[in-house]
Chain A
């Protein structure tokens, strides 16, 4: 059964799903049914060192840089409208291949050009982000973006972090003002 997380709540991915090797971060939403500009949601991941920053720009995985240099994190492609069933964008993480100097992976969802298009998550139908055991398809945790972050345009969903020999997931659930650019800068990416 999927866990519904309170903000700041922790789950241990290894306990929830022992022998977890590969996870998938899934982002889904419904295409806009009303007239107006499409909703374009983006999933991104930041590979962070112990200081909470990226080691370099190559640690920022998003629609324009789909694979980490070591191949452990892979974005499967940009969806511009939400067309399609299930996950519309996903990021696959092979936990066993994450470099040792990476402490945690932050996962974020943002609305592309939210300010210009005057959009927020509450306007988007059926939007969610979830974490799935990519080997079994089991859903480990899920957020309903439309209900929980209705007035936000960017959210740091959570962090997958090392804890001893296992990986844990911390639900951050924090809105972020300004969108993906300022968020990336904050993590040390040169935009």
Chain B
């Protein structure tokens, strides 16, 4: 792990090949609260779209490429998915502000850049690095020919207002002394929100990467999404029937993440976090309705990756006619037929469900892996994996 000093910069590729990053930060000092935020800026370093200020009032950007979650003792973690950023956002700038006091008084601020759960770089500053600044830019992830990172450590005595002005925006009245929604620079008209279009046709996502959108914009729109995995019994006199398992990796908007699957008896819950439940473990395919997983609160999710894997009894999804159907309450259906071209890759990431500010996007993945951990590595959830059985 590298320790950055103020001003230090590096191409991101020197630290990690990943573009799925986390930026964790914590400021300690005499003030009751230090606010942390990430600004998504354009190539000129301007905040041309105020939806890309991610902070406690707006914990994620529209497409979810930047999101914030809270940890213990005031730590905030920003998840940055560079590949999903719109091309207009070329710089992500982590900043901290304080209402009462200055950064010259802090004990320290600590920033850790990580990928896949591994810390890559840290940057630490103390009160001696500042004077009367009430807003400081701490760490940037930015695109200049390639993605780069840099420790900034400079700020403004004028606080958040001066910081936002620096980015070309302005702060509206702040009633509670908290950052309020911002007005972007006048030359940037807000992007029109496309009217939701919902097809009631049956959809089959055939090609990898194809996606469909389900809108949650209906009032109280939190209708469950149902996922069904089914397969034929197979087996024979001397062979156990094939056992396929359905499950998902999830990250909620709150930042909580985990896995729902029969393995390890992590069946989830309808009424408690993560509001995702696996109904049963059909170990033979004998149950006519296979295995079902329900996402009860799609409005609370950030990303859910639906997967199936062969627990035992076969090494080939096609031999047992593995099929997955995903259904929302309005009749939208997505079906995926499983086929693994490589017998050793018996773990299939089937579909990715993402919540883009109330619009649920489902993308067919159908990528085959050796198991949970290399799948996780590909998608960058960063869970810890150990051997398990049921």
Q: Does A51 contact B (CB under 8 A)?
A: no
Chain B residues in 8 Å Cβ range of A118:
6, 129
Q: Does B156 contact A (CB under 8 A)?
A: yes
Nearest CB of B to A142, in Å:
13
User: B8 near A151 (CB under 8 angstroms)?
Assistant: yes
- Bound CA–CA A150/B10 (angstroms): 8
CB-based nearest A residue for B137: A34
Instruction: Flag A105-135 by CB within 8 Å of B: 1 or 0 each.
Output: 0000000000000111111000000000000
Instruction: Flag B155-190 by CB within 8 Å of A: 1 or 0 each.
Output: 111100000001000000000000000000000000
Nearest CB of A to B11, in Å:
8
Chain B residues in 8 Å Cβ range of A121:
7
User: A34 near B154 (CB under 8 angstroms)?
Assistant: yes
Chain B residues in 8 Å Cβ range of A164:
none
Interface SS of A by simple majority:
loop
Contacts A33-B166, A34-B137, A35-B132; A150 near B155 (Cβ below 8 A)? no
Q: Does B131 contact A (CB under 8 A)?
A: yes
Interface residue tally of chain A, by bracket? 10 to 19
User: A120 near B6 (CB under 8 angstroms)?
Assistant: yes
Chain B residues in 8 Å Cβ range of A123:
6-7, 152-154
Chain B residues in 8 Å Cβ range of A122:
6-9, 150-151
Interface residue tally of chain B, by bracket? 20 to 34
- Bound CA–CA A143/B244 (angstroms): 58
Contact of B148 among A33, A34, A36, A147 (CB under 8 A): A147
Contacts A147-B144, A147-B148; A36 near B154 (Cβ below 8 A)? yes
Give residues of chain B (92-151) contacting chain A, Cβ–Cβ below 8 Å: 129, 131-133, 137, 144, 148, 150-151
Q: Does A146 contact B (CB under 8 A)?
A: yes
- Bound CA–CA A142/B153 (angstroms): 26
Q: Does B5 contact A (CB under 8 A)?
A: yes
Nearest CB of B to A144, in Å:
8
- Bound CA–CA A118/B128 (angstroms): 11
Nearest CB of B to A173, in Å:
15
Nearest CB of A to B214, in Å:
43
CB-based nearest A residue for B166: A33
- Bound CA–CA A118/B7 (angstroms): 10
- Bound CA–CA A34/B7 (angstroms): 13
- Bound CA–CA A36/B158 (angstroms): 12
User: A150 near B131 (CB under 8 angstroms)?
Assistant: no
Chain B residues in 8 Å Cβ range of A35:
131-133, 154-158
- Bound CA–CA A119/B8 (angstroms): 11
Chain A residues in 8 Å Cβ range of B137:
34
User: B156 near A150 (CB under 8 angstroms)?
Assistant: no
- Bound CA–CA A151/B8 (angstroms): 5
Nearest CB of B to A187, in Å:
26
User: A150 near B132 (CB under 8 angstroms)?
Assistant: no
User: B154 near A150 (CB under 8 angstroms)?
Assistant: no
CB-based nearest B residue for A123: B7
- Bound CA–CA A147/B7 (angstroms): 9
CB-based nearest B residue for A120: B7
User: A150 near B166 (CB under 8 angstroms)?
Assistant: no
- Bound CA–CA A146/B151 (angstroms): 12
- Bound CA–CA A146/B166 (angstroms): 19
User: B154 near A147 (CB under 8 angstroms)?
Assistant: no
Instruction: Flag A91-110 by CB within 8 Å of B: 1 or 0 each.
Output: 00000000000000000000
Contact of B7 among A33, A36, A151 (CB under 8 A): A151
Contact of A36 among B9, B131, B166 (CB under 8 A): B131
Instruction: Flag B211-227 by CB within 8 Å of A: 1 or 0 each.
Output: 00000000000000000
Chain A residues in 8 Å Cβ range of B151:
122
Chain B residues in 8 Å Cβ range of A146:
9
Contacts A33-B166, A35-B132, A35-B133; A147 near B9 (Cβ below 8 A)? yes
- Bound CA–CA A150/B11 (angstroms): 12
Chain A residues in 8 Å Cβ range of B156:
34-35
CB-based nearest A residue for B129: A118
Chain A residues in 8 Å Cβ range of B152:
123
Nearest CB of A to B54, in Å:
21
- Bound CA–CA A150/B158 (angstroms): 27
- Bound CA–CA A147/B148 (angstroms): 9
- Bound CA–CA A147/B10 (angstroms): 7
- Bound CA–CA A122/B123 (angstroms): 14
Contacts A120-B7, A150-B8; A34 near B155 (Cβ below 8 A)? yes
Nearest CB of A to B97, in Å:
14
- Bound CA–CA A182/B9 (angstroms): 26
CB-based nearest B residue for A4: B145
User: B9 near A150 (CB under 8 angstroms)?
Assistant: yes
Q: Which of B7, B148, B153 has the most CB of A within 10 A?
A: B7
Tell me the A residues contacting B by CB distance below 8 Å. Answer: 33-36, 118-123, 146-147, 150-151
A-B contact pairs, 21 of them (CB 8 A): A33-B166, A34-B133, A35-B132, A35-B133, A35-B157, A35-B158, A36-B154, A118-B6, A119-B7, A120-B5, A122-B151, A123-B6, A123-B7, A123-B153, A123-B154, A146-B9, A150-B7, A150-B8, A150-B10, A151-B7, A151-B8
Instruction: Identify the 8 closest CB pairs spanning chains A and B, nearest first.
Output: A122-B7, A34-B154, A123-B7, A150-B9, A120-B7, A35-B157, A151-B8, A150-B8
Extra A-B contacts (7), CB below 8 Å, given A118-B6, A147-B144: A120-B5, A122-B9, A123-B6, A123-B152, A147-B9, A150-B10, A151-B8
